[in-house]
Structure 1
Amino acid sequence: MQKISTFLWFDNNLEEAVEFYASVFKNSKIVSISKAPGDGGKAFAATFEIEGQEFLALNGGPGHPFTDAISLFVKCETQEEIDYYWDKLTADGGKAVACGWLKDKYGLSWQIVPNLVMSKLLGAPDRVKAQRVMHALVKMVKLDIAGLQAAYDEE
């Protein structure tokens, strides 16, 4: 059992959101959806998993919208994986933000980032190369592995 879980407050679209996330991430599942008694069968709370990470969710209404103060960080291995998650999560009302950040159609912030950037390029012992990568990264909206690698390799 996971000791700490992320808890998400949705604005009356909980069931739709949980089904959406389960459709985007191949290794995901809806564990449970609880219906509110006497509310026409509307979902009240849910538990779901994405890549082994447990999420709890509430259909809480408009009282507490998502902010950029928290985001979900998706570590990607290839540009195809970045493109897949980017396209899925910005579809139907989601929006690109900057530097690999986006907001999905429910207002939840995501970071779609290649592992290569975090581990190798930005963490390089050659701080000049790492700085070039950071300068390239901040100019991007969706991150581009080839562009980041080119900044690193630049002489």
Structure 2
Amino acid sequence: MTLPKSPAVPKNIVCLWFDTDAEEAARFYTATFPDSAMGEVFHAPADYPSGKAGDVLTVTFTVAGIPCLGLNGGPMFRHSEAFSFQIATDDQAETDRLWNAIVDNGGQASACGWCRDKWGLSWQITPRTLTDALAKGGEEAQRAFAAMMEMGKIDVATIDAARRG
């Protein structure tokens, strides 16, 4: 017998492991990033190693158009910079809004447009002017790259000035 496929879970989905707060993280991401939405919250049908029956086990959500599943799996696995979301921004206001939302909500600033949220997930808040400069190659890319290497949050005006030389 073949069971029907759940309409709530896409065929391919990014699974993000959390200790116990996948739902809180999903609600933050969907409130912060455009093209995002909450999906379903699933509760554990029985006790499991890191929790008990009735606890939130998984939550489906979309963040910036990418389908995700948040799994409350316990403390044994942590996020690392080996996985990050790269969010393209159109201007300084959008860059500031997203960067500040992450950092000001218990996150941590890093270098070159990277930051980490309070759950340990890494984000690259990357203005399109920077990726456009890098795609051009040559001296323009070198200047923009050198300017970026001096930054935490990307400063669009500084990248634009570096692009012009």
Identify whether the pair has TM-score above 0.5, normalized to the shorter chain.
yes
Instruction: Give the conservation status (yes or no) of the 8 Å contact 2:23–2:70.
Output: no
Separation in 1 of the partners of 2:140 and 2:33?
Answer: 33
Kindly state the Cα deviation for residue 6 of structure 1 after the two structures are TM-superposed.
1.2
- Give the RMSD, CA atoms, in angstroms: 1.6
Separation in 2 of the partners of 1:51 and 1:35?
Answer: 25
Kindly state the Cα deviation for residue 3 of structure 1 after the two structures are TM-superposed.
4.2
- Other-structure match for 1:148: 159
Instruction: Give the conservation status (yes or no) of the 8 Å contact 1:91–1:105.
Output: no
Aligned length: 152
Matched residue of 1:93: which SS?
Answer: coil
- Other-structure match for 1:122: 134
Matched residue of 1:143: which SS?
Answer: coil
User: TM-score, length-normalised on structure 1?
Assistant: 0.91
Pairing partner for 2:143 from 125, 129, 132 = 132
- Other-structure match for 2:17: 9
Kindly state the Cα deviation for residue 69 of structure 1 after the two structures are TM-superposed.
0.6
User: TM-score, length-normalised on structure 2?
Assistant: 0.86
Kindly state the Cα deviation for residue 51 of structure 1 after the two structures are TM-superposed.
2.9
Larger-Rg structure: 2
Kindly state the Cα deviation for residue 40 of structure 1 after the two structures are TM-superposed.
6.1
Matched residue of 1:66: which SS?
Answer: coil
Separation in 1 of the partners of 2:34 and 2:93?
Answer: 14
Q: Which amino acid aligns with 1:27?
A: D
For structure 2, which runs of at least 5 residues remain unmatched after alignment?
Answer: 1-8, 47-51
Separation in 2 of the partners of 1:110 and 1:67?
Answer: 11
Kindly state the Cα deviation for residue 32 of structure 1 after the two structures are TM-superposed.
0.6
Identity fraction in percent: 38
Separation in 2 of the partners of 1:4 and 1:36?
Answer: 22
Q: Which amino acid aligns with 1:139?
A: E
Kindly state the Cα deviation for residue 91 of structure 1 after the two structures are TM-superposed.
1.7
Instruction: Give the conservation status (yes or no) of the 8 Å contact 2:35–2:63.
Output: yes
Q: Which amino acid aligns with 1:137?
A: M
Q: Which amino acid aligns with 2:86?
A: F
Q: 4+ runs of 1 displaced by more than 6 Å?
A: none
Deviations along 1:85-129, whole A, 9 cap, x unmatched? 00111123200000000000100000000112112x11225x122
